[in-house]
Structure 1
Amino acid sequence: MTARPNETAPPGAIDYVAVEDSPQFRNLKRSQRSFVFPLAVAFLVWYFVYVLLSSFATDFMSQRVSGDITVGLLFGLGQFVTTFVITMTYVWYANRKLDPQATAIREQLEQQEAGA
């Protein structure tokens, strides 16, 4: 590890580099990433499957399901539904798992700043 010019923060100030290196902050980042990255990969795979099917499986995508509604139209609308479901799921996860961790870190920093 290389030495930093200012290893400690001045009195009354918060050393944000030390906060970033703290176990609580690392756990918060790990929790967020362990949720976001797999979900992002899953959505991108779903999106590219839709694009590839639209390009190379036109017979399948143009099959009528009911009236003028085709498989391609349902898959396209499914993209919007998936986006909303992912958003709602992330908000739920953040409210239950991430926000309490972030609040604890923030309160600790506010106490540190007030006590200095």
Structure 2
Amino acid sequence: MADIAELPGETAYQRVERSEEFQALRSRFRRFVFPMTALFLVWYFAYVLLASYAHDFMSTRIGDSSITVGLLFGLGQFVTTFVITMLYARWANNSLDPEADALRERVEGGDL
């Protein structure tokens, strides 16, 4: 890990932002978050569009119960939110946070 030369008038934050370690962390974060966000938004908007334009389909009852396809899809929104949150927390704790902590220690120690 090479130290980054300080440019005139540059803050510590700007120097860290230019570092390879920070760029790698940001890239790894984006590779996880952007696809997850896109998938969730597609799922969310599909639900909204189906609720708006496919009333017959969404009001279809499951078996002899009062549970409808729309209700299951709506509950699925909550389930996917919790699953994505758990996946992100596990991924960040195991993969992203240790590297971020190491970078923070370098910055606070004046090594960057």
Q: CA RMSD in A?
A: 1.5
1:96 corresponds in structure 2 to 94
How far does the alpha carbon of each residue in 1:66-110 deviate from its partner, in whole angstroms, 9 at most, with x for none? 310000000000000010001001101110111011011011122
Counterpart CA distance in 2 for 1:61 and 1:39 is 25
> Which consecutive residues of structure 1, in runs of 5 or more, have no partner in the other structure?
10-14
Compute the TM-score of the two structures, normalised by the length of structure 1: 0.84
How far does the alpha carbon of each residue in 1:44-67 deviate from its partner, in whole angstroms, 9 at most, with x for none? 000000000011111111111131
2:30 corresponds in structure 1 to 33
1:24 corresponds in structure 2 to 21
* Structure 1 or 2: more strand by fraction: 1
**Count of residue correspondences:** 104
Q: Secondary structure at the match of 1:65?
A: coil
> Which consecutive residues of structure 2, in runs of 5 or more, have no partner in the other structure?
1-6
Runs of 4+ in 1 over 3 A off after TM superposition: none
Q: Per-residue deviation at 1:25?
A: 0.3
